Copies of this chain bind each other. A is one copy, B any other.
Amino acid sequence: MNSGHLMFELAKRLYPICRSITGNGVRETLSIVKEIIPLEMVEVPSGTKVLDWEVPEEWNIGDAWIKNSAGEKIIDFKQLNLHVLNYSTPVDRQVGLKELKEHVFTLPEYPEWVPYRTSYYNRQWGFCMSQKQLESLPEDSYQVKIDSELKPGSLTYGEFVVPGKSEEEVLFSCHICHPSLCNDNLSGIALATYIAEFVKSKALHYTYRFLFIPGTIGSITWLSRNEDLLEKIKYGLVLTLLGDSSPFHYKKSRRGDAEIDRIMNWLLEKEEGARLLDFSPYGYDERQFCSPGFNLPVGRLSRKPHGEFPEYHTSADNLDFIQPEHLNRSYEFLLKVISVIEGNKKWINLSPKGEPQLGKRGLYKQVGGMAQQKDYQMAILWILNYSDGNHSLLDIAKKSGIEFSVLNKAAMDLQHASLLKPAS
């Protein structure tokens, strides 16, 4: 089973769980991820001050339905958890069609689909259903029942750190607060899990940190508890919407020219149809990581662009909407990103005056005068010429057009020949 299938299986298992920004759905989700990577589950009590916010009361839900006067369940939470307004207050009473309609959300543009709606900070009860169903409802007396509970508890998130040779960090973050939505949140969770699983067995230069957090309040909570380590974060990616067939969309960090932006720019030039988007203060948790007081070098990688597809935040973002092959392509691309991050050093040429004599070090071809030069031999020259402490290996890759892996090999050989040392 390749990584795409493993990720799809994980998404399938997580799909039925009713997640929210707090509650047992999040805990259940993280426990399943924990079977694959040994993440830490962190509980932050309701009422804790986090930056400008406060951890809200914990929301849990047992069941919910609407019954008509014949006692038939016309809406059943157990069939589809999107039917309940996320964070809905409990309710249990009889209502007429008119009052019911005041508490129902639909998607008139897509009459067959059920929308996903939330009301975290404004207490109300509500249901979501298809426009078609709403229109078919007769005048009747309906029993509405939401067996939910809002009370002090905690906000739960998962964190997993793989220490590297350096204390400098690469951050991957995904949100875990959406209920039965696949591309939006499950694809990100699956990718973060299996990228972490890959990284944990390697001896890498950077420390890798993986966050599984509820959107907005989760990143705000994590940021408020970890201000001290933020300066160590050198690269970061928010992962979401990675299971569909679209070309990659990379949203730049607020800085716009952070190394992660430059790497993605360069790698995505080679990916057909890929697009780079400027930072905007709307979207996922990059909003928080890139708020002006933090301004972290964190971009966002997606396939579909955020919000620009009809299935977004609807029941149509289900298991049919993502595919193992697409998850796998996202995974392979992220491994490439990691290999560039790892090799993207600045070097210092230790013999910078004139070219060093490569022949006597076995680094040059034996017969001169031929017009063709192998990439490797050119890589040697490019690295020597531009390793002045101002150019990273990525800069040299851009200038030379030579494959990053060839340059990396050449750099290793030059270091071995004592012609290169890492810039401090």
A sample of 20 cross-chain residue pairs with beta-carbon separation below 8 angstroms, ordered by A number, consists of: A51-B353, A52-B351, A118-B367, A119-B366, A119-B367, A119-B368, A122-B366, A216-B355, A227-B353, A280-B400, A281-B355, A281-B381, A282-B378, A282-B381, A287-B385, A288-B355, A291-B354, A292-B349, A294-B354, A313-B370
Given contacts A291-B385, A369-B115, contact A354 B281 (CB under 8 A): no
Q: Is residue A165 contacting chain B, with contact meaning CB distance below 8 A?
A: no
Task: Return the CB mask of A372-389 against B: 1 if under 8 Å, else 0.
Answer: 010000100110111110
Task: Point out residues on A near B: beta carbons under 8 Å.
Answer: 51-53, 86, 105, 115-122, 216, 219-220, 223-224, 227, 254, 278, 280-282, 287-288, 290-295, 307, 312-313, 349, 351-357, 359-360, 366-371, 373, 378, 381-382, 384-388, 399-400
A292 touches B352 (CB 8 A): yes
Taking A52-B356, A118-B368 as given, write out 6 further A-B residue pairs in contact, using a Cβ cutoff of 8 Å, ordered by the A residue number: A117-B370, A281-B355, A282-B378, A287-B355, A288-B355, A291-B385
A352 touches B291 (CB 8 A): yes
Number of copies: 3
B122 touches A359 (CB 8 A): yes
B219 touches A288 (CB 8 A): no
How many angstroms between the C-alpha atoms of A371 and B227 in the bound complex? 31
Residues of B with C-beta under 8 A to A357? 52-53, 121
Residues of B with C-beta under 8 A to A378? 282
Residues of B with C-beta under 8 A to A105? 367
B53 touches A121 (CB 8 A): no
Residues of B with C-beta under 8 A to A312? 371
A293 touches B122 (CB 8 A): no
Secondary structure at chain A's binding surface: helix, strand, loop or mixed?
Answer: loop
In the complex, which of the residues B117, B281, B291, B354 contacts A220, with contact meaning CB atoms closer than 8 Å? Answer: B354
A369 touches B292 (CB 8 A): no
Residues of B with C-beta under 8 A to A367? 105, 117-119, 122
B359 touches A399 (CB 8 A): no
State the 6 A-B residue pairs at the shortest beta-carbon distance, nearest first: A293-B352, A293-B353, A281-B385, A281-B381, A292-B388, A52-B356
**Least distance between A252 CB and chain B CB atoms (Å):** 12
Given contacts A291-B355, A355-B291, contact A278 B369 (CB under 8 A): no
How many angstroms between the C-alpha atoms of A280 and B373 in the bound complex? 13
B292 touches A117 (CB 8 A): no
Closest partner residue, chain B, to A348 (CB atom): B292
Closest partner residue, chain B, to A285 (CB atom): B354
A384 touches B281 (CB 8 A): yes
Residues of B with C-beta under 8 A to A86? 369
Residues of B with C-beta under 8 A to A382? 280-281
B291 touches A359 (CB 8 A): no
Residues of B with C-beta under 8 A to A307? 371
How many angstroms between the C-alpha atoms of A353 and B369 in the bound complex? 61
Residues of B with C-beta under 8 A to A371? 307, 312-313
Given contacts A282-B381, A360-B121, A399-B278, contact A294 B369 (CB under 8 A): no
**Least distance between A331 CB and chain B CB atoms (Å):** 27
How many angstroms between the C-alpha atoms of A357 and B105 in the bound complex? 24
How many angstroms between the C-alpha atoms of A227 and B354 in the bound complex? 11
